[in-house]
Structure 1
Amino acid sequence: MSYNTGPGPYPGQPNPQWGGSWPPPFPPPPKPGVIPLHPLAVGEILNGAFSSFRRYAKPLIGVMLAVQAIGIMIVLAAIGATVAVTQDRFAALFDLPPGEDADGADVAALFLSFVPAGVLLLVVVTLCAAMIAALCPAVVQEAVVGRPTTFVAMWSRCWSRLPSVLGTVVLTGLIVGGPILVLYAVCIPLIVMSSDDSGPPAALALLIPGVFLYLPVALWLMTRFSLAPAVAVCEGLGPVASLRRSSRLVSGGWWRVFGISLVGSIVAGAVGYAIQLPFGVIGMVSLFPAMTAGSEGNGDPEEIIVGIVVYAIAVLVGGVLSALFQYGFPSLVNALIYVDLRMRKENLAEALIATAAASATVTDAPAPAPASAAGTDER
């Protein structure tokens, strides 16, 4: 489904004022999917995000789990390969005679050997973030008109729009974070130099106020560009055009977009903590008896190991499940904000109603007869 264009008012019918009161003769707004097709209130956006997560849990969670699993395997493989290659450097640092300190050159060489793995980790995290940023608008496209979807369809959709969404993520990071990086690049060397009185000590006084003064600008920019992934997925635009389009949509409603996004992030954090808490309690319950016995000197080493393993598994499972909601829910909220702004500014509701009606017609149409049956009838 594309959100590029939409039909005008139906011939012979009044143009309903979406979002206002509904006195006769206007009926309530249609709701073929997770939201009513009129300009949305904050509660409708949050409810729509919850409904989207619940109704489309299989493709949504499936794609996110697949993305995270692939990323984790790539990073672990890179770290394992690095450790295998640098075994001699580990020995030079940790297998030392008593009283001998490690050489600084060996420490630096070991650190530098892990730099490629660190760069790969950054790349993988960025790609995973871009995939999730592409996934949620793709799910919302189907959710607002009530169409079903599958893991394969969502994976294909995300992969096809990944370059554009990745471009919006990278460009937003550079635009928002670039001035901070420049500030750190200038001030950190000056602070290091001032530690031995060879540089200006005022660098630290410049860095801290500079960060705090730039923080409102960073929030303003992040909010202006927050809808760019949804634009890239729903309208098929490139990275730069998506950023410009997001800025135009947010224009005139920055505080509303910022407030709803903030509420969505707070809700995601609270629900994510509630998901993770029982797993943490289970892990602590399994670990506490073994650790108590160990502190008293009569603990069984195997029992302690089992307790530690159960605790680690419980915390890991809780963290993964909570992360799925904490990453997905804010993106769903942003995608619904995009839909809301287009319904407010561009009468997208009419196009969505037509799309939902067409989808319902296709779904309700009778299945064609099998070829063999048709041939028998003709004979």
Structure 2
Amino acid sequence: MRPGIIPLRPLAVGEILDGALRLIRSSPRAALGLAAGAAVIGTLPLAIVQALEANEAFSSLFGEDASVRPPAGILPSVSEVIADAAGVLVQFLLVTVLTGVLTQILGRAVFGGRITAGEAWQRSKGRIPALLGTAVLTGLILAAPALVLITLIFFALGAAEIGLFFLLSLGGTVALICYVAFFGTRLALAAPAVVLERLGVIAALRRSWELTRGAFWRVFGVIVLTNIIVAVVTLVIGIPFGLMAGAILFATDGGSGATPVLVTLSVLSEMCAAIITYPLQAGVLGLLYTDRRMRAEAFDLVLQSAAADQYRLGWVPASADELWLRPAGGGPHGGA
């Protein structure tokens, strides 16, 4: 049975990715419109910082006094690290909120129903504080070990402990990657739970942990595959903007007059990529959440029964949103 963007049964990996694309195609104004708003807010800080850094680097190579300038340091400055981290944090917050809002659209789209961006926002805006809280708490959980590691690395540098520095840099980085991969995966489904099940921050994180139990590698693999697709799409979209930037640098000989144009091109490149990739990432997370409920709780039976009722009605009522709520006792649907 497939009344909407996905078949109402446990999903294959390809069906999750296809469903995310179908979500965008079924409600393009809602999905891309919301993504455009998020992209404008999310890409400007990071894109501007990156563009200014790139322009400074090109100016040092092509500027009139390039031959007498000292080479730039290997490590970025503290201000650059803070600016980049702030940009990444803003993007993470926005993608989390967008995931929640688009999940509201997804809740209808699995039945073939549609809602506008305005309606999705109206139905989701009451959950924004919980979504932001979920994003902030998740970010703290993932970032705390990184802050500790960075502190220890700088301590080792200050104490001239070269052996300890390399041990922390290599071993600590590997351990940090494993930590972020594990906890990032186990907590990845919290945003859909905040909106569809109307859970609070802690309850949503616990719910994500529960849904990913016994399915870590599958969820992790889909998220990694999605991120690879996002990286490729971002790279492809950035090619024409990069060519234009190169032509401008060549034409202006790296002069300071090229800076505004380079900033604009960088912002446009980041923004165009975000408009496409934000809803793709949000759709994948929403469908992973749906798939885990179908596999762990026989939720597909609930969806199939509701779809049959809606077929007889000939339309998808707003009450379809209530299907995503868990039973009062917190047990799975369908008794499985």
Same fold (TM over 0.5): yes
TM-score (norm 1): 0.64
- Aligned partner of 2:298 in structure 1 is 347
- Aligned partner of 1:167 in structure 2 is 133
Give 1:156-195 correspondences, 5 Å limit.
156-194=122-160
Q: Out of 148, 154, 168, which is 1:207 matched to?
A: 168
1:38 CA displacement: 0.7
- Aligned partner of 2:273 in structure 1 is 322
- Identify which range, 58-67 or 44-53, moves more after superposition: 58-67
Q: Answer yes or no: is the 8 Å Cα contact 1:133–1:165 preserved in 2.
A: no
Q: Does 1:46 align with 2:12?
A: no
Structure 2: which 5+ runs fail to align? 47-77, 317-336
Q: 1:316 to 1:172 in 2, by over 3 A?
A: closer
Give 1:360-371 correspondences, 5 Å limit.
360=311
Give 1:215-234 correspondences, 5 Å limit.
215-234=177-196
Give 1:306-317 correspondences, 5 Å limit.
313-317=264-268
Q: In angstroms, what is the RMSD of aligned CA positions?
A: 3.6
Q: Out of 109, 112, 116, which is 1:150 matched to?
A: 116
Number of residue pairs aligned between Structure 1 and Structure 2:
284
1:349 CA displacement: 1.5
Per-residue CA deviations over 1:90-111 (Å, capped at 9, x if unaligned) read: xxxxxxxxxxxxxxxxxxxxx9
Give 1:227-246 correspondences, 5 Å limit.
227-246=189-208
- Aligned partner of 1:377 in structure 2 is none
Tell me how far apart the structure 1 counterparts of residues 89 and 163 of structure 2 sit (CA, whole Å).
35
Q: 1:351 to 1:360 in 2, by over 3 A?
A: same
Q: Answer yes or no: is the 8 Å Cα contact 2:113–2:315 preserved in 1.
A: no
Q: Answer yes or no: is the 8 Å Cα contact 1:134–1:158 preserved in 2.
A: yes
- Aligned partner of 2:53 in structure 1 is none
Tell me how far apart the structure 1 counterparts of residues 6 and 127 of structure 2 sit (CA, whole Å).
24
- Aligned partner of 2:36 in structure 1 is 65
Tell me how far apart the structure 2 counterparts of residues 244 and 364 of structure 1 sit (CA, whole Å).
34
**Partner SS, residue 38 of structure 1:** coil
Q: Does 1:250 align with 2:221?
A: no
Per-residue CA deviations over 1:136-190 (Å, capped at 9, x if unaligned) read: 3222212211111111112223322112222222222222221221222233134
**Partner SS, residue 40 of structure 1:** coil
Q: Answer yes or no: is the 8 Å Cα contact 2:99–2:286 preserved in 1.
A: no
1:123 CA displacement: 7.0
- Aligned partner of 1:263 in structure 2 is 225
1:53 CA displacement: 1.5
**Partner SS, residue 252 of structure 1:** coil
Per-residue CA deviations over 1:25-59 (Å, capped at 9, x if unaligned) read: xxxxx111110001111111111011112222211
1:277 CA displacement: 2.9
TM-score (norm 2): 0.72
Q: Answer yes or no: is the 8 Å Cα contact 2:95–2:282 preserved in 1.
A: no
Instruction: Tell me which of the two structures has the higher relative contact order, counting C-alpha pairs closer than 8 angstroms and 6 or more residues apart.
Output: 2
- Aligned partner of 1:103 in structure 2 is none
Tell me how far apart the structure 1 counterparts of residues 147 and 308 of structure 2 sit (CA, whole Å).
50
1:65 CA displacement: 2.1
Structure having the higher helix fraction is 2
